Amino acid sequence: MNAIAHIEGAVFIQNDQVKTSSLKVAELFGKHHKNVIQKIESLECSPEFTSANFSAHVQTVEIGNGATRESKYYEMTKDGFIFLVMGFTGAKAAQIKEAYINTFNQMAAMLYNMQGNHDQIHVGAVVQLKSGGPLYTVSKIIYDQNGYMESAEVIWHNKSNLCRETLPINCLTLESKNLIQNKTLEDFWTSVHNYGMDKLNHSRKPNLLAFNLGQIYECIEGLPPKNQLSSILMQSRAPFPVYMQHNHAVHSGVTYKTVKCWVFDTRQQRALEHTH
């Protein structure tokens, strides 16, 4: 039997959790089930970890001539599985572990989709790891072979560098509307400053900024979709430059031509800087 080909059926969803069983672990790794049970029961993990990731069950099995007996087995989460198979060595075992973990991740993505959360995380969404940490912008959604959301490519700015990473979709959570708005504004104004305000600001007046949004998208990578950014830029307030109007004709101090621009007032921003 090709064990790896059968792993997909070894992982299942139960009570909003992705699990496998000691029976499947024994079968796929070619071990006696009683030995897998002994291994689980001798793991030196905390009682809290054990209760969260392993659950004992009993099934009825036939032993011949119509007789039956009760047989113990365990169901386990991905974390429990990983803890259990750490000591399984060899090239074949490594292949099975990798395929098992990939299947766990696919099933977790399927569970996430079944719960309906996929309507919210999308390209341009601002997200955070469920465990906390920095905010990211989703730049790409990656789907598995069944069309379920599996992972997301996220981007963020580290000073002047655009960073990218791919994270499992079930590890991410959406941020609140206000945090999303502030994060987008902060990223936008940081990106403009890092690129060079003098290269993008068409205004000739000291207290005004005038940007052509099309030019900004040509010059700066990693910005959210234009319609999303536009709606958020209209909410730009101190401590950021204050939105005044858009689609306004400005005689450019950069190109010396008339350019349609978004216009922002910096006086409130500068007043705040002087008070700190």
CATH number at residue 152: 2.30.30
Q: Are residues 153 and 85 in the same domain?
A: no
Say which residue, 46 or 178, is predicted with more confidence. 46
The pLDDT value given to residue 201: 96
Q: Among 23-27, 64-68, 177-181, 191-195, which is the least confidently predicted range?
A: 177-181
**In a shared domain, residues 88 and 122:** no
Q: What percent of the chain has pLDDT over 70?
A: 88
Are 92 and 185 in a shared domain?
no
How many structural domains is the chain composed of? 3
| The predicted structure's pLDDT at residue 150 | 87
pLDDT in tens, 253-272: 999 999 999 999 988 765 54
What confidence tens digit (pLDDT) does each residue in 50-90 have?
A: 999 999 999 988 877 878 889 999 999 999 999 999 989 99
Average pLDDT over residues 35-40: 96
Q: What is the pLDDT of residue 180?
A: 67
As a three-state string, the secondary structure of the chain is CCCHHHHHHHCEEECCEEEEEHHHHHHHHCCCHHHHHHHHHCCCCCHHHHHHHEEEEEEEEEEECCEEEEEEEEEEEHHHHHHHHCCCCCHHHHHHHHHHHHHHHHHHHHHHHHCCHHHCCCCCCEEEECCCCCEEEEEEEEECCCCCEEEEEEEEEECCEEEEEEEEHHHEEECCHHHHHHHHHHHHHHHHHHHCHHHHCCCCCCCEEEECHHHHHHHCCCCCCHHHHHHHHCCCCCCCCEEEEEEEEEECCCCCCEEEEEEEECHHHHHHHHHC
Same domain, residue pair 147 and 183:
no
- Regarding whether 98 and 47 lie in a shared domain, the answer is yes
